Amino acid sequence: MRLLSTVVLALSVLGLSAQMGDSISLKTQVYLDAYSELGSNGITMGSFFDYFSASFLDEELKDELTSDLRAKNGVGSSQDLEIGFRQWRDSTYSRWRQGFGIHYAFRSRAGVNASDNAILMTLYGNARFAGQTVDLLPLDELSMNWSEIGYTHIQRSKNLEWSASANLLFGHSFNSIESEKGTVFTEESGEYIDFDTRYTFKSSDSLLLLKGMGASIHFDVSYDLKGPWRVGLGVRDFGVIAWSRSSWEVNADSTFRFEGEEIPNLFDPSNEVFTGTGDRLEKTFYNPESGSQTTFLPTRIIGEVGYTVPWNFAKEISLRTDYIFLPGYSLRNRIRLDIPLNKAWSLKPEISQGGFARWGIGIGVQWKHPDWLIQLEAQNIQWTVASASSYGIGGQLKVAYNL
Amino acid sequence: MFKRLFSLLSLALLLACQPDLSNKSWDVDILAPIATTSLDIKDITGDTLIQVDSDSSLLLVRRQKVYEFSLDDLVEPFSTTFENTAKLQTLDLGTRRINYSISLGQLAAQQGPPFGTIIVANHGNNLPFPAISIGNPITYPINANQYFQSMTLIDGWLVFELRNNLPIDLINFQYELINQQSQTLVISGTIPLIPANGSAKDSVQLNNNTVLEGSLIANLNNLESPGSGGVAVPIDTSDQLIVEVTVRDLKPFEATAIFPAQNLIDYTEEVIFETDFELSRIVVDTGVLYMQSISTVEEPVILEYEIPSATMGNQTLLLDGTLPPAAPGGTSLYNDSENIAGFSVNLNGINFDPNVKNTFFAELRARIDSSGNMVFLSLEDSIYLTTGIQGLMPSKIEGWLGRDTQTTDDEILPLFLFNDVQGGSFDLAAARITMELVNNFGADMMFRLTDVRAENQSTGQVAVLNWTELGQDLNVSSAQDDALNFKPIPNSAVWTLDENNSNSDELFDIQPDQLIYDLELILNPTGINNPTGFAYRHDPVEAWMNVEIPLHLSMDGIQLIDTSDFSYSELDPDNSLKGGRFTIIADNTMPIEAVVDLIALDSLGQPVDTLFAVETIAPAQVEADGKVYESVRSKIHYELNKSSIAQLKNATRMVFLGRYSTGDLPTQVKLYDHYSTELKLTGNFQYRVN
């Protein structure tokens, strides 16, 4: 909180000092920004829809889901819903255009990076792996939901625009699995199973809507180089959430052979068959320790280069690279073309590689008015023409209104 | 087991696939071990029955008591009761005396002038004493209230004695004694002469319910004297005429009196200890001496019941207590008892004569002490007293136990050798039985065993024992008495039955569950009286059967059955099991093949499903030296379909039914200590993940 207060104070001082002696005009904008994306690099879009529409996964569907698996399979989703307002102060004498904003956002991140073996064992069981040592790694997962209230300082000049947000976070849910080791060997007849595992499983566990609190910052900067080039850099969701004491953590580091429950004498009536095994294994694999814990947010880093093209039909071509520190999410590169149709309308087609999916095609439509901005984007629409590829679906809606 | 693993994996996938898709379900094939166990012949028959022989081969051994003859079979619990009633006619009111005196001065004063004046005036002088006649009655109260208030007498005596210390003779002394309250005459009479310085007596029998009150009036109706006849005699006005009233030998019907200490009951009685023996002593193991009494006597009554024949250390057996005084018109009660365990009772009678047997004596006393209180007692008052011994059983008897014959016909002895064997057959190579007779009695014993047969009640098979000693006299000498340690030193004899003198192995081939025999036991078979005999209650005469069966046999379909608790919910807590099969992986070092069926029972013990094994646990191969060195692996599968799973859910117990056969019948195989079957139960299940 001290850090947050310091940042807000510094930004305010900067803003006030810049206003001294100026003639000022104010411009205020309210906006809504909704973004959703989910995808996998190991499951096709068609399979995903089949999966989504089925309550029971029969053998055919399981085969379909696993037909295109890789050694490492990412599955994940990301959602943001943000509303807020921004206000700019234009100065007659200053080269800077300054502003600030306040927003509320709900954000959700979930991702898993799982080996094909882990997915196959999950869907089919261990019987098909009898006689084999199965390496389940990688097997990592992170999911987190939180909401934030933030203050943003914005500063623009002719060539440079930057903004920084300080945010107060309210954690809603959190789960993570970090696996360092995970092999399973099932003897051919099921005589024994060897486990060699080391993983950490953390979870928030509270009936309260608010399960933790934290802070984060967003920072975006864009600079127009001389000539047609433009570069940008962004860091989003850099921060931590401290989860309440009712959260818990499981640390399992175990190598052992399970041979079933030992019954000293099968003909002894005091024996009870099939008892105690669950308890013993639970202590080995699943012995949670409760207590408060602090976790980093899945930070997103964005880099962008834009080039103003001398074409009649297009305005700019840009390359955008981003990465989220989230299991299953790979570095994503996106090439986008800005095609103005007229003064108000423009199209933004794109091709992407990475992220949750392997690759994708998207299209955006933007409508601009002196007081309105409406932008609708659809990403990863390639499944309509190439269903055999990995699945992914995403979309973005931006609505802004100048008061 | 896999629930947790699949939960983690599923959670990872589902959480990543927003929106929430956790309502998905699918089937997985789980292959997992469930249980391991090791089965050997000890598990089948019970550890306590199996012993290892010197060559590591196994023996089925059981030691079982087949007969017991104890003191309880000879002696019945002894009880006896004594009843006594004490009445008041035995009461003693003692002898009571009341003195009363009349001085010469009192006579003179009562007589008045001139005689009285002259006598008084000449006190200390000598004077001729004139003739006098006192015709007016003189009344004197006599107070006996310090002894009694009233009594109604059946019998007794009242003695009236006069001692004349006056210097003159007294004549025509007329008196009467009247009860003051009732004004009834008790006694009256005339004494013609009471000489000077002499005395005279009169007495009357108090009978026919004479009432005597404690406050009496003595009337002196006439007293005359001839005087001194002109002779001067010394005049002393302190000279007295003394009257003494004595009541004695009183037999009251009722009385309100202070009673002196006295015995109400006091007698000694000999008691016969009922037995067929001639005993000189017993030591009590259990028994109670008791006393119950009821009294209407208004005095405390002290009760004592003593058996001088019974001692423990220096203490004789004594039960004593005090009956509280009864309320007027009411009764009082007193009960007491004492555990007499440990007392030694001499049975040589009241004079401790060694020639007297089975007799002890007891003394009963009831008495009152003088309390000094005035109490009312009546002939109607009584003390009812019951004393006795209840349930006396000796821990030891000493003496001649007599010659006695105990016979048992068709005595059935349950055998517990093959309880878990439900069917099939086997053929034993040999069986050895030793019969051991243990005599703890101080008397010679003779056994005679006839008609011994083994029976399998399930199959109805009977095998009759042939043994050279059947019907012969089997003698065992008397035990020695270690009296100091209160125990016998037993004497025992052993007879062996084996293939050389019997067909003992055939008895067990039919898997008998009971042995039936006729037995005759003769105590002191010579009939010679031995007064030093003895028997301890807790050391009976015993017959033991020791069975040794070398596990060298062939078997065909021997069924062994046992039950374990079964919890389906532990196997499938979420009811997610859809099908699959159990597999038993058996590593067998026993040269016995086996088929094991699993039978599920519900809470009422009724079978709900049976998982039949279609495969056999193969027997291990016996090497040239007759032993097995390597195990043979078999896999036995039990299919689980929806129906059997549904039935398993209702099961609370699982029965393992094994059918065992030696592979190469009829060759008999020898079982060794290291033989076992290692069983691993695995499951290959279709499991629905939710």
Q: What is the DSSP string of A225-268?
A: -SSSEEEEEEEEEEEEEEE-TT-EEEEEEEEEEE--EEES-TT-
Looking at residue A3, what is its pLDDT?
Answer: 38
> Is residue B2 less than 8 Å (CB to CB) from chain A?
yes
Closest residue to B31, CB basis, from A75, A126, A262: A126
Alpha carbons within 13 A on the beta-carbon side of B564: 19
Q: What is the mean pLDDT of residues B121-129?
A: 86
Specify the pLDDT at position B219.
87
CA distance B41 to B58: 9
Contacts of residue A131 in chain B, CB cutoff 8 Å? none
Structure tokens at B555: 């078997």
Chain B interface test: which of A66, A267, A284, A324 (most B C-beta within 10 Å): A267
CB pairs under 8 A between A and B: 197
Residues 6+ apart with CB under 8 A from A196: A181, A182, A183, A184, A254, A255
Q: Give the residue carrying structure tokens 């399973």.
A: A184
Q: Which residues of B touch A38 (CB under 8 A)?
A: 17-18
For residues B563 and B164, which has the higher predicted lDDT (pLDDT)?
B164
Residues B172-194: tens digit of each pLDDT: 989 888 999 999 988 888 889 99
| Model ipTM value | 0.77
Mutate to test the interface with B, among A183, A273, A280, A393 (most CBs of B within 10 A): A273
Residues of chain B with C-beta less than 8 angstroms from the C-beta of A269 = 562-565
User: Are B35 and A260 within 8 A, CB to CB?
Assistant: yes
Residues near B37 by beta carbon (within 8 Å), at least 6 away in sequence: A262, A263, A264, A265, A266, B678, B679, B681
Chain B residues lying within 8 Å of A143, measured CB to CB:
15-16
**Does A272 sit within 8 Å of B29, measured CB to CB?**
no
Residue B484 neighbours by CB under 8 Å, 6+ apart = none
When CB atoms are compared, the residue of B9, B24, B567 closest to A272 is B567
Which residue from A55, A190, A328 is facing B32, i.e. has the nearest CB? A190
pLDDT in tens, B574-599: 788 888 988 999 999 989 998 888 88
Q: Give me the mean pLDDT over the B558-581 stretch.
A: 77
Q: Do A263 and B35 touch (CB under 8 A)?
A: yes
For residue B58, what pLDDT is reported?
87
pLDDT greater at residue A207 or residue B437:
B437
The percent of residues above 70 in pLDDT, for chain A, comes to 81
pLDDT of residue A23: 52
Mean pLDDT of B495-520: 90
Q: Which chain A residues have a beta carbon less than 8 Å from that of B35?
A: 260-263, 273-274
pLDDT at A94: 65
Contact B19, B658 (CB under 8 A): no
For chain A, what's the residue count?
403
B47 in reach of chain A (CB within 8 A): no
Using alpha carbons only, what angle is made at residue B330 by residues B328 and B331, rounded to the nearest 5 degrees? 125
SS (H, E, C) B599-637: EEECCCCCEEEEECCCCCECCCCCCCCCCCCCCEEEEEE
Q: How many whole angstroms separate alpha carbon B194 and alpha carbon B220?
A: 14
> What's the pLDDT band for A262 if we cut at 50, 70, 90?
low
* Cα separation, B51 vs B49, whole angstroms: 7
Chain A's closest residue to B22, CA to CA, is A55
Instruction: Please name the member of A108, A258, A273 whose beta carbon is closest to the beta carbon of B1.
Output: A258
What is the model's pLDDT at position A385? 53
pLDDT of residue B67: 87
Please give the average per-residue pLDDT across B89-111, as a whole number. Answer: 77
Which residues contact residue A402 at a Cβ distance below 8 angstroms, ignoring those fewer than 6 apart?
Answer: A27, A28, A29, A370, A371, A372
Tokens of residue A365, six digits:
């439509």
| pLDDT, tens only, B239-269 | 998 988 888 888 888 888 887 777 777 878 8
Helices A116-124 and B2-16 meet at what angle, rounded to 10?
120
Contact yes or no for A43/A391 (Cβ under 8 A): yes
Mean per-residue pLDDT, B554-568: 77
- Over range A281-294, report the average pLDDT: 66
Percentage of chain B modeled with pLDDT above 90 = 27
- pLDDT reported for residue A287: 59
Tens of pLDDT, residue by residue over B305-322, are: 899 999 999 899 999 999
The rounded distance, in Å, linking the Cα atoms of B109 and B303 is 57
Name the range with the highest mean pLDDT among A384-393, B10-19, B73-82. B73-82
Residue in A with minimal Cα distance to B652: A272
Q: What is the pLDDT of residues A144-203, one digit of tens each?
A: 999 999 999 999 888 899 999 999 999 999 999 999 999 999 999 999 999 898 888 888
Say yes or no to pLDDT of B12 above 60.
no
Confidence of residue A269 (pLDDT cuts 50, 70, 90): very low
Does A262 sit within 8 Å of B565, measured CB to CB?
Answer: no
* DSSP H or E segment with residue B7: helix B2-16
Distance CA B458, CA B49 (A): 22
Question: CB burial class (10 A; 0-12, 13-18, 19+) of residue B115?
Answer: middle
Confidence tier at B3 by pLDDT (50, 70, 90) = very low
| E strand or H helix at A59 | helix A59-65
For residues B383-396, average pLDDT = 89
> Nearest CA to CA, how far is A183 from chain B (Å)?
12
How far apart are the C-alpha atoms of A132 and B237, rounded to whole Å?
148
Residues 6+ apart with CB under 8 A from B269: B82, B361, B362, B363, B364
User: Rounded mean pLDDT of B281-292?
Assistant: 93
Question: How is B139-183 classified by DSSP, letter by letter?
Answer: EEEEE-TTTEEEEEEEEEEEEEEEEE-SSS-EEEEEEEEEETTT-
User: What would the mean pLDDT of A341-350 be, rounded to a whole number?
Assistant: 92
Q: Which residues of B touch A277 (CB under 8 A)?
A: 1, 34, 570
The beta-strand segments (E) located in A3-115 are 24-44, 56-57, 72-91, 97-115
Q: Across the interface, do A201 and B8 touch by the CB < 8 Å criterion?
A: yes
Count the Cβ atoms, other than its own, within 10 Å of residue A218.
22
Distance from the Cα of B585 to chain A's closest Cα (Å) equals: 8
Tokens 């994503």: give the residue.
Answer: A332
Question: What pLDDT sits at residue B86?
Answer: 66
Residue range B368-376: mean pLDDT, rounded = 81
Task: State which amino acid sits at residue B476.
Answer: V
* Rounded-to-integer distance, Cα B123 and Cα B46, Å: 122
CA distance B655 to chain A (A): 9
Q: Residue A388 above 60 pLDDT?
A: no
What integer best gives the mean pLDDT of chain A?
A: 83
pLDDT digits (tens, 9 = 90+) for B395-421: 999 999 888 888 889 989 888 777 766
Instruction: Please answer yes or no on whether A123 and B31 come within 8 Å at the CB atom.
Output: no
Q: What is the pLDDT of residues B199-213, one digit of tens each?
A: 998 888 888 888 888
Q: Of A208-212, A215-219, B163-167, B360-364, where does mean pLDDT reach its minimum?
A: A208-212
Q: What is the DSSP letter of A382?
A: G
pTM of the model: 0.58
Which pLDDT score, from 0 to 100, does residue B664 have?
A: 66
Which residue has 């069917």 as its token pair? B423
Query: CB A266 to CB B29 under 8 A?
Result: no
CA distance A141 to B237: 143
pLDDT tens for B657-678 read 878 888 665 678 888 988 888 8
Q: Among B16, B37, B689, whose Cβ lies nearest the Cβ of A328? A: B16
Q: How far is B510 from chain A (nearest CA, A)?
A: 23
Predicted confidence (pLDDT) per residue in A104-143, tens digit: 999 999 999 999 999 999 899 999 999 999 999 999 999 9
Residue A394: is its pLDDT beyond 70? yes
Average pLDDT of the residues of chain B? 85
Strand order, beta sheet including B541-550: B50-52, B58-69, B541-550, B432-439, B491-497
Q: Which of the two residues, A326 and B578, has the higher pLDDT score? A: A326
**DSSP code of B20?**
-
Encoded tokens for A183? 């092999």
Residues from chain A that touch B687, judged by Cβ atoms under 8 A, are 125
Interchain proximity A281–B4, CB inside 8 Å: yes
Top-confidence residue, B216 or B14: B216
Which one-letter amino acid corresponds to residue B513? D
Instruction: Evaluate whether B449 touches B588 at the Cβ level (below 8 Å).
Output: no
Could you report how far apart the first and last alpha carbons of chain B are, in Å? 15
State the smallest CA–CA distance between residue A347 and chain B in angstroms: 29
Where does the pLDDT of residue B654 fall: very low under 50, low under 70, confident under 90, or very high at 90 and above? confident
Contact yes or no for B227/B168 (Cβ under 8 A): yes
Least confident of A122-126, A312-316, A318-322, A383-387: A383-387
- Are the beta carbons of B31 and A282 separated by less than 8 Å? no
- Long-range contacts: A279-284, Cβ < 8 Å, 24+? A281/B1, A281/B4, A282/B4, A284/A252, A284/A254, A284/A256
Residues of A in contact with B638 (CB under 8 A): none
